[in-house]
């Protein structure tokens, strides 16, 4: 007794085909024509697309930042993801300076215990290697890889909180190279940016608009170059997170052409939002769009879309890091540097990417699946379990209605924020049904926006160390 999805078009990164999919328990048992329906529950997918569930590799649930905590915990965050068609996310465990990675790992596993509603994994953000030569921290990296945490995040921004210096970063990269682990980099020159921030505040430039102006695209480009060059020296594979602008992209492409093992993602917001449209400097409302890197000038959008089509950017994530406008963003009224950095996005990634990417003519439905599902699984060491509609893989399946019109609004979203970055936008293309490890968890066609599974059913996924799929 399984679930048989009939009459749909199965879309994988390498091609589409009108065929059936049989789910047995938690796995995809069979993909093929005319599977006998006897004894199975049938789901009719006529005129619908049957795709792998989305994988968002960059979220921050229940994360302390700037004196508050991100608004979505593992329950609301994973339910919002599922409602939008995402069945797996990779969140960040943050090591506190002076503490161990193990402690950070345990803390984040506790945050997710009995709360996660879809499968998830963790990156480890390294801020400290311990006393002396750092051998304790480097040993811990081995332990983390053994736990299935095969990617390490390094911050080149936020001095005094999360930023590490180049020496520590290089040590981590050398160790990661030995372990085949992937180094994920927040690439911005935090020291230079902090000077600009202080100067702006001293000049009375305190509005949210100045957050964007204080973090130059060149500070991102410089750090992008430095991170990739150091990783190349260390022999490590590197993945630049939330690449936001053309200058940083130039550095990436230049070093990729010279053989560096460098990959990068961009995020939904940089593809469709801009300083001109969202942060022209007119109101406090613009605090809704304070995140890091900030929104860029509009001309960058086209360059990023192009980079997704030519393969220089391989993944689209969200950097979902939600804060409520009313009582959290307000911490930075009168001082943009105190506005909690981040925006809510996990629920809308697929809608935006489909509407502007596929309907907009930038790429095919297969490329959409690659950017949102298959490449994330490959780069982050879980392609044997997730990211494609293939026999033997987890039955994480998104049944997509390319003709469904949906208007995005904070009033109807599952994310726990009091605003949407895309308020009032109508998109064409939305999740109809979402299946997570063989269980129907969302049915937007009959119960829109509701999570139907039990809270806490999500499982931790151990990932392989495969150097971003580049070994
Ligand atoms: Zn982030």
- Rounded distance between C-alpha atoms, residue 421 and residue 436, angstroms: 27
Q: For a pLDDT cut of 70, what percent of the chain falls above it?
A: 100
What residues are neighbours of ligand 1 (ion), with CB under 5 Å? 319
Dist. CA 319 → ligand 1 center (Å): 5
Q: What is the DSSP letter of 99?
A: S
Is it true that the peptide bond before 293 is cis, omega within 30 degrees of 0?
Answer: yes
Encoding tokens for residue 167? Answer: 């020496």
Dist. CA 290 → ligand 1 center (Å): 13
- Beta strands (DSSP E) in 173-332 are 182-186, 237-240, 262-267, 315-317
pLDDT digits (tens, 9 = 90+) for 391-447: 999 999 999 999 999 999 999 999 999 999 999 999 999 999 999 999 999 999 999
Q: Residue 361 above 90 pLDDT? A: yes
37 pLDDT band (50/70/90 cuts)? Answer: confident
Supply the pLDDT for residue 3: 96
367 pLDDT band (50/70/90 cuts)? Answer: very high
Contact 397, 382 (CB under 8 A): no
Dist. CA 345 → ligand 1 center (Å): 12
Supply the pLDDT for residue 263: 98
Dist. CA 277 → ligand 1 center (Å): 23
Dist. CA 317 → ligand 1 center (Å): 10
Q: What is the mean pLDDT of the chain?
A: 97
pLDDT digits (tens, 9 = 90+) for 213-260: 999 999 999 999 999 999 999 999 999 999 999 999 999 999 999 999
Q: For a pLDDT cut of 90, what percent of the chain falls above it?
A: 98
Q: Residue 471 above 80 pLDDT? A: no
Dist. CA 454 → ligand 1 center (Å): 28
Dist. CA 91 → ligand 1 center (Å): 9
- Beta strands (DSSP E) in 362-447 are 397-407, 426-436, 439-443
Dist. CA 162 → ligand 1 center (Å): 12
Arithmetic mean of pLDDT, 363-374 = 98
Biggest alpha carbon–alpha carbon distance for the chain: 73
Dist. CA 164 → ligand 1 center (Å): 16
Dist. CA 28 → ligand 1 center (Å): 32
Dist. CA 57 → ligand 1 center (Å): 10
Dist. CA 46 → ligand 1 center (Å): 38
Helix (H) and strand (E) counts in the chain: 14, 20
Contact 279, 297 (CB under 8 A): no
Dist. CA 292 → ligand 1 center (Å): 8
SS3 364: coil
Pick the CATH number of 54-387 from 3.90.660.10, 3.20.20.140, 3.40.800.20, 2.120.10.70: 3.20.20.140
Q: Residue 1 above 90 pLDDT? A: no
Supply the pLDDT for residue 228: 98
Supply the pLDDT for residue 287: 98
Supply the pLDDT for residue 33: 96
Q: Dihedrals φ, ψ of 121, to 5°?
A: -145, 180
Q: Residue 108 above 90 pLDDT? A: yes
The domains of the chain are located at 54-387
Q: Residue 66 above 80 pLDDT? A: yes
């Amino acid at each position: 007794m399984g679930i048989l999805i009939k009459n749909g078009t199965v879309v994988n990164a390498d091609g589409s085909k009108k065929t059936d999919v049989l789910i047995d328990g938690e796995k995809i048992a069979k993909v093929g024509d005319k599977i006998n329906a006897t004894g199975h529950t049938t789901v009719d997918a006529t005129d619908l697309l049957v795709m792998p569930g989305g994988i968002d590799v960059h979220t921050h649930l229940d994360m302390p930042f700037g004196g508050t905590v991100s608004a979505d915990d593992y329950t609301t965050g994973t339910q919002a993801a599922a409602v939008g068609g995402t069945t797996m996310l990779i969140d960040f465990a943050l090591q506190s300076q002076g503490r161990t990675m193990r402690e950070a790992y345990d803390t984040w596993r506790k945050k997710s215990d009995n709360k996660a509603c879809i499968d998830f994994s963790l990156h480890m953000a390294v801020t400290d290697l311990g006393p002396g030569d750092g051998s304790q921290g480097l040993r811990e990296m081995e332990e983390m890889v053994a736990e299935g945490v095969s990617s390490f995040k390094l911050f080149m921004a936020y001095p005094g909180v999360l930023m590490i210096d180049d020496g520590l970063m290089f040590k981590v990269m050398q160790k990661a190279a030995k372990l085949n682990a992937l180094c994920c980099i927040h690439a911005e020159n935090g020291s230079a940016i902090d000077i600009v921030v202080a100067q702006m505040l001293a000049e009375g430039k305190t509005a949210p608009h100045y957050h964007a102006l204080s973090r130059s695209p060149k500070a991102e480009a410089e750090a992008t170059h430095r991170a990739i060059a150091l990783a190349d020296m260390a022999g490590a594979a590197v993945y630049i997170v939330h690449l936001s602008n053309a200058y940083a992209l130039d550095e990436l492409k230049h070093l990729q052409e010279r053989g560096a093992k460098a990959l990068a993602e961009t995020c939904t917001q940089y593809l469709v939002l801009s300083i001109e449209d969202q942060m022209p400097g007119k109101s406090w409302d613009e605090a809704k769009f304070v995140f890091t890197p900030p929104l860029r000038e509009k001309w960058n959008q086209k360059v990023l879309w192009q980079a997704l089509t030519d393969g220089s950017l391989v993944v689209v994530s969200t950097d979902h890091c939600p804060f409520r406008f009313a009582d959290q963003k307000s911490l930075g009224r009168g001082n943009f540097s105190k506005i909690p950095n981040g925006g809510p996005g996990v629920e809308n990634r697929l809608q935006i990417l489909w509407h502007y990417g596929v309907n907009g003519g930038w790429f095919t439905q297969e490329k959409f699946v690659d950017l949102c599902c298959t490449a994330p699984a490959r780069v982050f060491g879980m392609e044997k379990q997730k990211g494609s509609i293939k026999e033997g893989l987890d039955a994480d399946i998104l049944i997509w209605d390319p003709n469904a019109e949906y208007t995005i609004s904070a009033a109807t979203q599952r994310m726990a924020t009091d605003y949407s970055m895309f308020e009032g936008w109508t998109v064409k293309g939305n999740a109809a049904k979402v299946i997570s490890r063989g269980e129907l968890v969302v049915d937007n066609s009959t119960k829109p926006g509701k999570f139907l599974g039990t809270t806490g059913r999500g499982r931790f996924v151990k990932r392989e160390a495969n150097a971003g799929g580049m070994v």
